[in-house]
Amino acid sequence: ERENLPIMLYFLDKAFSTIISSSKSSSSSSSSFIQSSSCSKPSEKSTISYEVVIVDDASPDNTLEMAQQLQTLYGKEKVIIVSRSGKLGLGTAYIAGLKASHGDRIILMDADLSHDPKYISKMIDLMNSSSQKYDIVSGTRYKRGGGVAGWDLKRKITSQGANYLAQFLLNPGKGCSDLTGSFRLYERHAIERLLPLIRCKGYAFQMEILVRAKAMQMAVGEIPIVFVDRIYGLSKLGANEILLYLKGLIQLFLTT
């Protein structure tokens, strides 16, 4: 994700500069982000306290080096780096990022520009809604106004098929129309309770989070988002990821 991180950080800072909130948020990603040849200085008009947590699993493309450059540019209070010795898994990356963060609310999102930070304000607005208190707000591709850009027909059928199969077998209920999506806003207490319980890997990891949350009577809301296929780098979806997903789905069906 070396090419993506500076761009992502710029748009995150721009998004937060338009949000007025008394809550402190952490934007955390398990992906190792980074780099391009240049990036803009952070806005000085930011109206919400936030930080970005970067978890790097010894990426071979010198992601860590770029993260350190961005930390110098934005400041250590704004960019927090967690450097690990190798690929230790998505779940442990989230836990490591959570431990390093300080926010009352945690945003988990992809670092490859697939998740547009412009939706963060809508997520916060929904979580702050006086009519319903939500523990989790999820971005969904499968509600009116949501969708996917840049995928071929095969990828769309695979994704929708996986989601519909999970909906049929697990019946998670309201607020869970996109079980495999990873762009979500969590109250800190919610994600701290959930992460130690998660056993699935790969795409099933995100699915299990919502299924466990509903089983624990947590309130889940959602907003429509448009997921954009990554600009730099290659998709990680392959036969192994599909098998891991099916294994996780069967496991959840039998145990929840």
pLDDT in tens, 100-124: 888 889 999 887 888 999 999 999 9
Instruction: Identify any residues that bridge with 220 across adjacent strands, giving them in sequence order.
Output: 136
Supply the angle between the helices 153-170 and 203-215 in degrees, to the nearest 10: 30
| Residues near 100 by beta carbon (within 8 Å), at least 6 away in sequence | 53, 80, 82
Dig out the tokens for 99 from the structure. 């431990």
- Phi, psi values for residue 182, rounded to 5°: -120, 0
Instruction: Identify any residues that bridge with 149 across adjacent strands, giving them in sequence order.
Output: 228
Dig out the tokens for 56 from the structure. 């790097």
d(CA 83, CA 192): 21
Residues 55-100 pLDDT 10s: 888 888 888 899 999 999 999 989 999 998 877 777 788 888 888 8
d(CA 174, CA 59): 38
What does the DSSP assignment read for 109-152? --SSS-S-GGGHHHHHHHHT-SS---SEEEEESSSTT-EEES--
Residues 191-206 pLDDT 10s: 999 988 988 887 788 8
Q: What is the model's pLDDT at position 232?
A: 57
d(CA 81, CA 129): 32
Q: Residue 168 above 70 pLDDT? A: yes
Q: What is the model's pLDDT at position 88?
A: 76
